[in-house]
Structure 1
Amino acid sequence: MTTLFISDLHLAAERPAVTELFGAFMQKEATRADALYILGDLFEAWVGDDDPSETGAYVAARVCEVADAGVPVLFIRGNRDFLLGDAFARRAGMRILPDPAVVMLYGKPVLLMHGDLLCTGDTAYQAFRAQTRNPAWQAQFLSQPLAARLAFAAQARAASAAHQGGMKQQDKTQFETLTDVATATVDATFAQFGIHTIIHGHTHRPAMHDLTVDDHACQRIVLGDWYEQGSVLRVEPDAMALEALL
């Protein structure tokens, strides 16, 4: 009995080796799991379910194989694929969860998130996030031609990389602080939901953090990214392990 968690794969045509690693993971391990949770940023960018990319088609097929094997596949949107919609979810046979979402994991309530909501120190990003999650903004964006949406996504990625690169050069310590979770927000989230375990991705800092919140022992588990290798959290009824896929 094993439930699998992955996030931050950032799959794209430019990184075929990682896409192949994902396919092998889905076919060899995910088809035997109790459930598979994908906590956002499955794709490097997603500009709408009408995108006919080969990567999208390949991913949908691999996910559908897992679902057809009787394994529930649950997905939380990330900051790179927040426009992934019901059409692609149906095509892939997976179910979209809200962010955040409380699920029961072997009888224990656990809070699942992509993780960007915890990074409240980056106020510029949080403002951008609020804007792009607005249904009116999304409707206007999705009404544009596919080529225009792809160009916007490429420009946004370049601007983000330049912004982060500038922050690193100016003050690396501040960069690390702004791009990681805010301790006060983490504590408030534990208290708000009344749970003792949070699993999320986004920060690309894989770790299992033990902490105390309001005199309760809590754990925050951060999934790793798939830029150079895979990362998976395997949870069993009485054990869990955060490991790299080599």
Structure 2
Amino acid sequence: MKLWRFTFSHHAFYRLPEEKRIFWLQLAQIRNDLRAIDGICIPLLNVVSPRRGANRYSQTEQWIALHQLTFAMRQLCGTLKEAHTVVHKQWHGTPLSKQMDSSLSQEAKEGLKTFNKYFNNSDNLVTTIRQNFAHHFDSEILKGRLCSCAPNELHEFIIGETYGNTFYKFAEDLRHNAIVRAIGGKNIQEAIAKLYDEPRQSALLPFETFGDDVLFKIASELDLKREEVRVESPSDPKMLRPFLLFPEVEPDLAADTRKYVP
């Protein structure tokens, strides 16, 4: 697979005006984080929503994958909310935006318009998740029910011979139930589909379109040098498997889980 590597000098970087340099760095850091989170989701979707004919996973693996996917989407919403704050403070109505606006592509302008329109509605899903679930362990939410189920419903957690394979599913039952109540849906699967699709379509993709155009425009002011690089083609995304369980270590190095078992 062919990529291009760009380099520029430290001197050229610091010739940029401070407000432009800082905004460039902020956009680049946000794009890197969004790219990483989005990439984490792909193999997890292969477990949570396997395609016909794909490998089947155990129920335990599906629980763990669902938690990891939900965790990734919570971080995505948190990052997108911070991206909106950066754009609002560092771009809108600033000398930088007045200087650069006319040079942006129509696609970038439309992307920014869509991004702003989404966040103008304070009840949007991204903000709801950011304010309640991104990095929060709210005691009010924790007072809720684990699920809408019968009193004799069983809840679960698992432990292995190493600490890395401990997973407290009952805690995620409550969080999933709270997410369903917050954003709507008949069940967690329906809510997760909404949690994955809406931020991507309404915020992530528009931000990437705007952000990349600004990043490239500012980069063109540097003393860029370009070279072609070749890397091995990535695996088919449909075949990617996420990291779900740790290999069990040697018995003398493993966690002594026997003390937890009656």
After TM superposition, the score normalised by the length of structure 2 is 0.25
TM-score scaled by length of structure 1: 0.26
More strand by share: 1
Q: Give the greater-gyration-radius structure (CA).
A: 2
Higher RCO, 1 or 2 (CA under 8 Å, sep at least 6)? 2
